[in-house]
Amino acid sequence: MSKRRGFTLIELLVVIAIIAVLMGILMPTLRKVKEQGNMVKCLGNLKQWNLIHAMYLQDSNGMFYSGTPGDGWWWIAQMEEKVQSRIKNQLWFCPKNKGTLQEADGSPNPKISIHAAWGIFMDGHPNLTPDGIAGSYGINGWVLNIGSGAETMSEGRQRSNHWKTPQVRGAGYIPLMAEALRFDLWPQPTQAPAPREEDAWNSDNHMARACMNRHMGHVNISMCDFSARKVGLKELYTLKWHKTFNTAGRFTLAGGVTADVWPEWIRPFKDY
């Protein structure tokens, strides 16, 4: 009698089905592990930025960048050229970066997403690096050391609301630098997230510049006490962005938030 060799078709199908089930179980876990790795690297970037900011503070009597209107709000221009440069300083980019808002020649990037970086900006200030600036992170404009002048500035911002220095009470809840779609942002507690995530690029809504789903319902933020951590998208409304920022506004649990105030894309995430 001849000996049986190989597998039958049914046996092969069973093996394939088992592999498919295992892959279905493992893939979400693998994606989560990869995402956690990206988040850790991103937080590492922000921790390095904390050191850069701390060194600047040492040389400026403990005061943040001026970012005055005379400088065109280009706080980046007050940093060393090697720190400004998108080429020489890769700390500008989240590991999930997917290109920039526009190319070096000013042409738009047709593949813009929440994972793209702002820039590339090649001009706008005489002290900017010739390499151009671009990045995945933006400074909380409310920390800038705005000089003397009219109390009410552009977009109705109040000069007295700026922190100017990290030496303030509750620094661990005051954002310093955040993952953002612009190099600066001045969030207000009344600003809702973008109606659609992709709309944040084309909006003057400063909260929307940071309220985007980059890391499974979170973004990474460094604080004025030089810590860095992941922050839930809805948790953004509980941070003390400026001196009179209402941390118990309509988008918080303390303010009685309800699901209907949120755009549909953000509703599944945790309330704070």
Tokens of 52: 């850069």
Within 13 Å and on the Cβ side, how many CA atoms surround 31? Answer: 8
- Give CA separation, 232 vs 104, 207, 212, 228, in Å: 33, 13, 10, 13
Provide mean pLDDT across the span 198-218: 88
Confidence of residue 26 (pLDDT cuts 50, 70, 90): low
Of residues 116 and 106, the one with the higher pLDDT is: 116
Question: Would you tell me how many other CB atoms lie within 10 Å of the CB of residue 255?
Answer: 15
Report if residue 5 sits inside a domain. no
Buried b (16+ CB within 10 A) or exposed e, 200-233: bbeeebbbbbbbbbbbebbbbbbbbebebebbbb
Show the beta-strand stretches assigned E in the chain: 118-121, 133-135, 137-140, 175-179, 184-185, 218-223, 228-232
Task: Give the separation between CA 198 and CA 196, rounded to whole angstroms.
Answer: 6
pLDDT for the residue 4: 58
Strands of the sheet containing 228-232, edge to edge, are 184-185, 137-140, 175-179, 218-223, 228-232
Phi/psi region, residue 243 (left: phi>0; alpha: psi -120 to 50; beta: rest), is alpha
Report if residue 271 sits inside a domain. no
Chain Cα centroid distance, residue 123: 23
Report if residue 105 sits inside a domain. yes
Confidence of residue 102 (pLDDT cuts 50, 70, 90): confident
Of 185, 211, 196, the residue nearest 272 (C-alpha):
211
Task: Give the separation between CA 179 and CA 255, rounded to whole angstroms.
Answer: 25
Say yes or no to pLDDT of 13 above 90. Answer: no
- Find the domain containing 209 and state its range: 10-266
Report if residue 75 sits inside a domain. yes
- The answer for residues whose C-beta is within 8 angstroms of residue 17's C-beta and 6 or more apart is none
As for how many domains the chain has, the answer is 1
pLDDT for the residue 64: 96
pLDDT tens digits, one per residue of 136-180: 999 999 999 987 777 888 888 898 999 999 999 999 999 999 999
Output phi, psi for 241, to 5 deg.
Answer: -60, -45
Q: Which residues pair with 221 in a beta bridge?
A: 178, 229
Say yes or no to pLDDT of 213 above 70. Answer: yes
Say yes or no to pLDDT of 14 above 80. Answer: no
Residues of the chain with pLDDT > 90, as a percent, come to 63
pLDDT for the residue 139: 97
Provide mean pLDDT across the span 130-141: 95
- Give CA separation, 88 vs 72, 80, 93, in Å: 23, 11, 12
Tokens of 135: 């990045």
Whether 164 and 64 have beta carbons less than 8 Å apart is answered as: yes
Report if residue 121 sits inside a domain. yes
Report if residue 79 sits inside a domain. yes
pLDDT for the residue 30: 60
Tokens of 68: 């005055």
Report if residue 3 sits inside a domain. no
Confidence of residue 29 (pLDDT cuts 50, 70, 90): low
Measure the CA dihedral 239/240/241/247, to 10°.
70
Tokens of 188: 């207000």
Q: Mean pLDDT over all residues of the chain? A: 89
Tokens of 105: 């020649």
Say yes or no to pLDDT of 2 above 60. Answer: no
Report if residue 223 sits inside a domain. yes
Of residues 184 and 73, the one with the higher pLDDT is: 184
Tokens of 241: 């962005």
| Selection from 6-15, 21-30, 37-46, 250-259 with the highest mean pLDDT | 250-259
